[in-house]
């Protein structure tokens, strides 16, 4: 009696067979795989395409150690252990803005497609130690082509309901066999008036970014490429990041992917998401820091070479924008020269000149009473400092006023703080705020880099 009980099909197997009305071992299987980062998109697609579904959970002694998919359910066992009824397994996925989507991670889905019964098995696959885990979706049906058509509808719904669209995200490697996770980011808005650059610089940046997007259809019809790369270079604290933040909000609605040091090795995946959701923007800040970084994926050429190589394979008529920033353009110039055309605009963001410093002080010192004499003195004494330095100067003045039980700082607070920041012992602080060590006339930053960029064809003749 016990032997007969052991030979009986698993209840999970029986549910599958009863639903499709045939022996699933005699039916063709359609299987697709999705990256784990697509969990939320797949769940939203399932909700939209197959809203009426019966979920059947299953478990085995080895759950968590071995993949249990359609083949194991049909066989009724996995690694010698029986497949038994169990709870449907879910995972909560954060998708930005405080939203969390409960996604099916493992279950048998019994559905009808135009009154035709279809059985789907959603499971976590990828048991190979060198391969990252994936979501595996398998289906069987007595009518040929039904499952394939369902999969096409699911893919279309995934694009339509994609949780990454219009968001600012970054990709990161997890320790679990190379699994990838997506993080959502909220970037503080920056108004145009808050970006203080040399005359004409912001306008050129806007033309090459916002302007091309606004004219995308006309340019595409004329056969002109939309894919473009912009390099912002200059000393730390001069406004490269601020300019990028301004563009992200000025071009709201685009999908933005931040390529960071923690995401090394994920450039191909990041670009695949951007292509799927174009128009898209890719931001790689401080590219010099990881330009020569090598991983198993990149071999001997480094991260920047891999990025430039991947850019070459993208369609020219896709509205894809690459924004790169660097404090050390001399470090990345060899890679740019070896891959001409990937970056088609290089803009120097130098230390602010006297007029820019005046505007920066007025911007950050809003609410502080400053007469023209005090303002002129501050402009004069902040020669060759960065915008970040001036912002910190004002912040410390407000802090000094608060510590002395005053609501608002005054010109004397600014003078006193500036004395502290400019004294010899504050050299390290000044470096951290972007003040260079070398001497020279204001505005002449990184002259060797300018020559290198000119040689690479990245600086127009009008700027040489």
The CATH code of the domain that includes 201 is: 3.40.50.300
72 vs 357 pLDDT, higher one: 357
Number of domains in the chain: 3
Asked if residue 233 has pLDDT above 90, the reply is: yes
Q: Give yes or no: residues 346 and 358 share one domain.
A: no
Q: Averaged over 438-455, what is the pLDDT?
A: 43
Q: Give yes or no: residues 339 and 363 share one domain.
A: no
449 vs 346 pLDDT, higher one: 346
Asked if residue 127 has pLDDT above 70, the reply is: no
Domain endpoint, select from 319, 350, 381 = 350
Instruction: Answer whether residue 249 is part of any domain.
Output: yes
Q: Give yes or no: residues 220 and 336 share one domain.
A: yes
Our CA angle for 303, 293, 314, nearest 5°, is 0
* 152 exposure class (CB count in 10 Å sphere: 0-12, 13-18, 19+): exposed
pLDDT of the residue at 34:
93
Show the tokens assigned to 456. Answer: 């690479």
Q: Give yes or no: residues 291 and 390 share one domain.
A: no
Q: Give yes or no: residues 210 and 326 share one domain.
A: yes
Instruction: Answer whether residue 437 is part of any domain.
Output: no
Q: Give yes or no: residues 206 and 83 share one domain.
A: no
Of 53-62, 117-126, 237-246, 423-432, give the range with the top mean pLDDT.
237-246
Q: Give yes or no: residues 277 and 259 share one domain.
A: yes
Q: Give yes or no: residues 201 and 302 share one domain.
A: yes
Q: What whole-number distance in Å separates Cα of residue 458 and Cα of residue 450?
A: 9
Confidence of residue 296 (pLDDT cuts 50, 70, 90): very low
Count of residues for the chain? 464
Q: Give the domain range for residue 422.
A: 354-432
Q: What whole-number distance in Å separates Cα of residue 275 and Cα of residue 164?
A: 12
Asked if residue 78 has pLDDT above 80, the reply is: no
Asked if residue 310 has pLDDT above 80, the reply is: yes
Q: Give yes or no: residues 153 and 287 share one domain.
A: no
Instruction: Answer whether residue 398 is part of any domain.
Output: yes
Q: Give yes or no: residues 308 and 373 share one domain.
A: no
Q: Give yes or no: residues 306 and 346 share one domain.
A: yes
Asked if residue 245 has pLDDT above 90, the reply is: yes
Confidence of residue 97 (pLDDT cuts 50, 70, 90): confident
Q: Give yes or no: residues 345 and 378 share one domain.
A: no
Peptide bond preceding 189: is omega within 30 degrees of 0, i.e. cis? no
Which whole-number Å values give the CA distances from 94 to 51, 164, 169, 181, in the listed order? 22, 11, 12, 10
Instruction: Answer whether residue 101 is part of any domain.
Output: yes
| Contact of 28 with 121, CB cutoff 8 Å | no
Question: CA 158, 159, 164, 165: dihedral to nearest 10 degrees?
Answer: -150
Instruction: Answer whether residue 455 is part of any domain.
Output: no
Q: What is the pTM of this model?
A: 0.83
Domain endpoint, select from 143, 163, 183 = 163
Confidence of residue 307 (pLDDT cuts 50, 70, 90): confident
Instruction: Answer whether residue 172 is part of any domain.
Output: no
């Amino acid at each position: 009696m016990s032997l007969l009980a052991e030979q009986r099909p698993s209840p999970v197997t029986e549910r599958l067979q009863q639903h499709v009305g045939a022996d699933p071992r005699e039916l063709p299987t359609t299987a697709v795989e999705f990256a784990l980062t697509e969990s939320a998109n797949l769940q939203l697609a399932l909700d939209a395409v197959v809203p009426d579904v019966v979920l059947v959970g299953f478990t085995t002694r080895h759950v968590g150690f071995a993949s249990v998919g359609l083949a194991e359910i049909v066989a009724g066992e996995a690694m010698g252990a029986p497949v038994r009824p169990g709870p449907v397994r879910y995972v909560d996925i954060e998708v930005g803005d405080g939203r969390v989507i409960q996604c099916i991670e493992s279950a048998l889905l019994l559905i009808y497609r135009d009154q035709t019964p279809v059985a789907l098995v959603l499971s976590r696959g990828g048991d190979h130690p060198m391969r990252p885990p994936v979501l595996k979706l398998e289906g069987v049906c007595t009518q040929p082509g039904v499952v394939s058509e369902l999969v096409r509808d699911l893919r279309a719904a995934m694009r339509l309901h994609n949780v990454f669209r219009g968001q600012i995200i970054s990709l990161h490697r997890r320790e679990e066999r190379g699994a990838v996770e997506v993080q959502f980011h909220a970037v503080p808005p920056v108004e145009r008036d808050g970006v203080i650059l040399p005359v004409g610089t912001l306008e050129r940046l806007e033309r090459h970014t916002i302007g091309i997007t606004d004219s995308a259809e006309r340019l595409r019809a004329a056969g002109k490429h939309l894919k473009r790369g912009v390099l912002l270079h200059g000393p730390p604290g001069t406004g490269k990041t601020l300019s990028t933040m301004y563009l992200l909000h000025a071009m709201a609605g685009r999908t933005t992917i931040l390529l960071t040091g923690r995401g090394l090795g994920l450039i191909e995946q990041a670009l695949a998401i951007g292509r799927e959701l174009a128009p898209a923007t890719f931001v790689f800040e401080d590219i010099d820091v990881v330009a020569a970084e090598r991983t198993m994926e990149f071999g001997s050429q480094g991260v920047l070479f891999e990025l430039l190589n991947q850019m070459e394979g993208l369609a020219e008529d896709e509205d894809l924008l690459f924004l790169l920033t660097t404090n050390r353009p001399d470090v990345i110039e060899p890679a740019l020269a070896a891959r001409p055309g990937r970056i088609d605009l290089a803009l120097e963001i130098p230390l602010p000149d006297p007029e820019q410093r005046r505007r920066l002080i007025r911007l950050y010192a809003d609410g502080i009473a400053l007469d023209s004499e005090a303002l002129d003195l501050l402009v004069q004494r902040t020669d060759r400092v960065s915008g970040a330095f001036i912002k910190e100067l004002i912040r410390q003045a407000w802090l000094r006023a608060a510590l002395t039980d005053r609501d608002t700082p005054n010109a004397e607070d600014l003078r006193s703080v500036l004395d502290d920041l400019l004294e010899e012992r504050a050299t390290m602080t000044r470096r951290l705020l972007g003040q260079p060590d070398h001497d020279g006339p204001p505005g002449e930053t990184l002259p060797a880099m300018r020559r290198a960029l000119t040689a690479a064809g990245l600086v127009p003749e009008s700027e040489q």
